[in-house]
Chain A
Amino acid sequence: MEHLLEIKNLHVIYRGDEATVHAVNGLDFTLDRGATLGLVGETGAGKTTTALSVMRLLPDRIGTIEEGQILLDGIDITKASEGDMRVLRGSLVSMIFQDPMTSLNPTIRVGEQVGEVLELHRKDLSKEEIEKKVDEIFQLVGLPAERKMDYPHQFSGGMRQRIVIAIALACEPKLLLADEPTTALDVTIQAQVLDLMQELKEKLNTSTILITHDLGIVAETCDQVAIMYAGEIIEIGLAEDIFEAEDHHPYTVGLFGSIPDLSKKERRLHPIDGMMPDPSDLPSGCKFHTRCPRAAEQCSLQAQPLYQRGTHGIRCRLYADWEKQQ
Chain B
Amino acid sequence: MATPILETRNLTKYFKTARGNLHAVDDINLSIEKGKTLGVVGESGCGKSTLGRVILRLIEATGGEILFEGKDLRTLNARQMEGMRQQLQIIFQDPFSSLNPRLSVSEIITDPIRTNKLLTGKAEIQERVVELMHTVGLSDRFINAYPHELDGGRRQRIGVARALALNPKFIVCDEPVSALDVSIQAQILNLMMDLQEQRELTYLFITHDMSVVKHISNQIMVMYMGQCVEVSPTEELFEQPMHPYTQALLSAIPVPKLQRDRKRRHLVRGEVTSPVNPLPGCRFAARCPHARPECTGEVIPLTERGPGHFVSCVLPVR
Residues of A within 8 A of B (CB): 42-43, 156-159, 186-192, 194-195, 213-220, 239-240, 243-244, 254-262, 267-272, 275-276
Give residues 128-170 of B contacting A (CB, 8 Å): 151-154
- B267 to A218, Cβ gap below 8 A? no
Q: How far is the CA of A188 from the CA of B267 in the complex (A)?
A: 7
- 15 further A-B pairs in the complex, CB-CB below 8 A; given A189-B43, A255-B183, A271-B187: A42-B183, A159-B271, A187-B210, A187-B249, A187-B253, A188-B267, A191-B251, A192-B269, A218-B256, A244-B258, A259-B186, A260-B212, A260-B215, A267-B193, A271-B185
Inter-chain contacts of A259 with B (CB < 8 A): 182, 186, 211, 256
B306 contacts partner chain A, Cβ-Cβ < 8 Å: no
Contact partner, B43, options A187, A257, A271, Cβ 8 Å = A187
Inter-chain contacts of B249 with A (CB < 8 A): 187-188
Inter-chain contacts of A215 with B (CB < 8 A): 256
Q: Measured between C-beta atoms, what is the minimum distance from B134 to chain A in Å? A: 17
Q: A243-B257, A261-B211 are in contact. Are A188 and B183 (CB under 8 A)?
A: no
Mostly helix, strand, loop or mixed at chain A's interface? helix
Residues of B within 8 A of A (CB): 43-44, 151-154, 181-187, 189-190, 193, 208, 210-212, 214-215, 238, 248-249, 251-259, 262, 265, 267-269, 271-272
- A-B contacts counted at CB < 8 A amount to 114
Q: A268-B190, A271-B184, A271-B186 are in contact. Are A191 and B256 (CB under 8 A)?
A: no
Inter-chain contacts of B151 with A (CB < 8 A): 275-276
Closest to A240 in B: B258
Q: Measured between C-beta atoms, what is the minimum distance from B231 to chain A in Å? A: 19
Contact partner, B254, options A189, A216, A255, Cβ 8 Å = A216
- B265 to A272, Cβ gap below 8 A? no
A-B contact pairs, 24 of them (CB 8 A): A42-B182, A42-B183, A42-B184, A156-B271, A188-B248, A189-B271, A213-B181, A219-B258, A220-B254, A220-B259, A243-B257, A254-B183, A256-B256, A258-B182, A258-B185, A258-B186, A260-B214, A260-B215, A262-B211, A268-B193, A269-B215, A271-B187, A271-B190, A275-B153
Contact partner, B210, options A159, A213, A254, A262, Cβ 8 Å = A262
Q: How far is the CA of A194 from the CA of B183 in the complex (A)?
A: 24
Closest to A45 in B: B181
Q: A187-B43, A188-B252 are in contact. Are A213 and B186 (CB under 8 A)?
A: no
